[in-house]
Amino acid sequence: MKQKTSKEEQILIRITGQDRPGLTAAMMSILARYDAQILDIGQADIHSTLSLGVLIRIDETHSGQVMKELLFKATELSVNIGFSPIGDDEYEEWVGQQGKNRYILMVMGRQLAARQIEAATRIITEQGLNIDSILRLTGRKSIKHPGKHVRACIEFSLRGEPADRQKMQADLMKLSSEMEIDFSLQKDDMYRRSRRLICFDMDSTLIQTECIDELAIRAGVGDQVKAITERAMRGEIDFKESFSQRVALLKGLDVSVMQDIAEHLPITEGADRLISVLKRCGYKIAILSGGFTYFGEYLQRRFGIDYVYANELEVDDNGKLTGRYLGEVVDGHRKAELLKLIAQVEKVNLAQTIAVGDGANDLPMISEAGLGIAFHAKPRVVANAEQSINTIGLDGVLYFLGFKDSYLGEQGKL
C-alpha cells in the first residue's frame, strides 16, 4: 500500500498584550518542538504593549496541537492570541510583492499631530503605495519636561511604485509649507544607509550668518553688501559677479577683525551633534563655501572637518583687505565639481554622497549628490530640492540617513 504523504499549511499567528521578557522565547519553544518553519515574523512594542506576528508553515497533522499549546501558553502569559490560515495562492501572491520597489518616507517636525500624519498617509494611499511598517526614530517626548526631545520623526516603509512620483513629491512639499513639517522620500536601495561623504555649505547652513555681511558691517557698508548677498542667494544675479562687487566694498578693512568674527560665529542648531555622530560613524566631511577660507578653516579646526574649499581674500602688506580675492571663485558650478572630486579621492560612489545648503549657488551640488538637502533654504532652492529641512536643526539630517536616537545612546538625555 502506498504511504500517504503529509501536507503542510501556513498559519498566521497574532499575539497582542502586555510585553514581558521571555514571551517570544516561550512561543518559539512550542513552534520549535513541532519543527515549524518561520516564513515571516515582525514585532512592535508601543508603551510596553506588544504586537507580534508570526507566519509559520507546518505539517497539518500537527497544526491543531500547536495552536492548542500556543493558546494555553497565551492564557498563562495573559496575552491575546489569534490564528488565520493562509492559502498557498495567497502566500505566493505575497511572495511576489518582494520584487516591488520600496521607498522610505520620513515625516519630521518639532512635534507631530494626527492631522499631519493623516495628510501624509492620504498622499501615500493616493499614490497606491502600501505601508509595510512605521518606525519612530526620535526619542519619546516628555510631558513633564516639554523642553526635551523638541523634534519628532517617523519613518514609513512603503512598498510599490508611486503612480506619479513627481506629483507625490510636489504634494509632500506643499504639505511641508502648510503644516510646518518636513518630508524625505527616498528609494530604499543599498545606498540609503551607506552614505560616506557629506558636503556642507557654510554661511546660513553650518553657521547662522553670512560672513561677508559681518565683514561689511565692520567696514561700514553693511546695507550695500547685504542687499547684493540676498539677490545672489535668490538667484537673481550671477554669483561671481555679486561676489566681486561685495569683496570690492571691503577694501581697506583691517584683517584683524576676522578673528573676532570667527570666535563669535553663531553655530547652527544641531550642527555639533550632527558632525559628532557622522565622525564617529566614519563619514568624510567637507565645507564647500562661497564664503571665505579664514572662517572655513576656523570651523575645520573646531569640528575636525576633513576638507575646506572656499574663497581667499587678498591682504596687502599693511594687513588691509585689497578688495580683491585670490584664485578661482567657489561658485555653484565649482561646488558640484568639488563634490565629485572629493568622492573620487575618497573612492565613494556619488550615490553615497550628501550635500546640504540653503542658497541658489548650492543647487548644483544638491542636484549632483545622492542625497541633496535644502536646509532652511530660499524658496527657489526648496522648490528644486527633493529633500528639505525647515522645521528643526541641522541634526535632522541624521534621521534622513536612518539614524535613531536610541542607536546613539541619547534617549532620555536630550
Residue 315: φ, ψ to 5°: -125, 135
201 a catalytic residue: yes
What cell numbers appear for 392 in the block?
528643526
Cα–Cα distance between 309 and 11 in angstroms, integer? 60
What cell numbers appear for 350 in the block?
556619488
Classify residue 329 by its DSSP letter: -
From 19, 182, 203, 405, the catalytic residue: 203
Rg (CA), the chain: 27
What cell numbers appear for 62 in the block?
500537527
203 a catalytic residue: yes
Cα–Cα distance between 281 and 268 in angstroms, integer? 21
From 182, 201, 362, 405, the catalytic residue: 201
Instruction: With CA atoms as reference, report the closest residue to 363 among 194, 274, 234.
Output: 234
Residue type, 4: K
Q: Cβ neighbours of residue 371 under 8 Å, at least 6 residues apart? A: 186, 195, 353, 354, 355, 387, 400, 401
Angle at 409 between CA 356 and CA 104, to 5 degrees: 45
Residue 336: φ, ψ to 5°: -65, -40
Cα–Cα distance between 47 and 233 in angstroms, integer? 46
Q: Cβ neighbours of residue 177 under 8 Å, at least 6 residues apart? A: none
Return the active site residues: 201, 203
